[in-house]
Structure 1
Amino acid sequence: MASLFENNRNYVLGDNELNLIGDRDKLAQWRHKGMGPAFYRLGRKIIYRGADLNAWAEANRVDPAKAGRD
């Protein structure tokens, strides 16, 4: 599995790397709906672990070569 994010890094809202999966508003919508990558809420601060972001991205990977071959 290729890593889009550094596994040993924590990402906070405002980090440009998070724009890869969605802007600040989209991430807020996902958190409100219980969707998206796992996160920590420490007071008002939202923190995403790189390993969690990579796991979420891998779980949402689409391989067109295998689509429709169930």
Structure 2
Amino acid sequence: MAKLFEHDRNYLPGDPDLDLLGDRDKLTQWRHKGVGPAYYKLGRKIIYRGADLNAWADARRVDPNDDGAL
């Protein structure tokens, strides 16, 4: 599993560490489209958990050495 983010940390939009995924506008677009990482919405506040960010990133891992056997 990817360890790109601290597992037990919470991240808020605008956090520089989230720039690894995209800028604040990109994360907003993903939330609107329902395609980004899991998040909590508490009132107007958006919170990403490090564990969810790592799981989302891991699901998008591409291994160029995988022959894609079906």
TM-score, normalised to structure 1, is 0.93
Map of 1:10 onto structure 2:
10
Which ranges of structure 1 fall in alignment gaps of 5 or more residues? none
- Determine the C-alpha separation between the residues in 2 that align with 1:19 and 1:10: 15
**Percent identity (aligned):** 71
Map of 1:26 onto structure 2:
26
Tell me which protein shows more helix as a share of its residues.
Answer: 1
Runs of 4+ in 1 over 4 A off after TM superposition: none
Map of 1:43 onto structure 2:
43
Matched, 1:64 2:64: yes
Give the C-alpha shift of residue 43 in structure 1: 1.0
Instruction: Give the number of equivalent residue pairs.
Output: 70
SS in 2 for 1:69: coil
Higher mean Cα deviation, 11-20 or 60-69?
60-69
- Determine the C-alpha separation between the residues in 2 that align with 1:5 and 1:20: 10
Tell me how large the CA RMSD over aligned residues is. Answer: 1.1
Letter in 1 for 2:40: Y
1:7-34, Cα deviation, whole Å (9 max, x unpaired) = 0000001110000011101100000001
Letter in 1 for 2:10: N
TM-score, normalised to structure 2, is 0.93
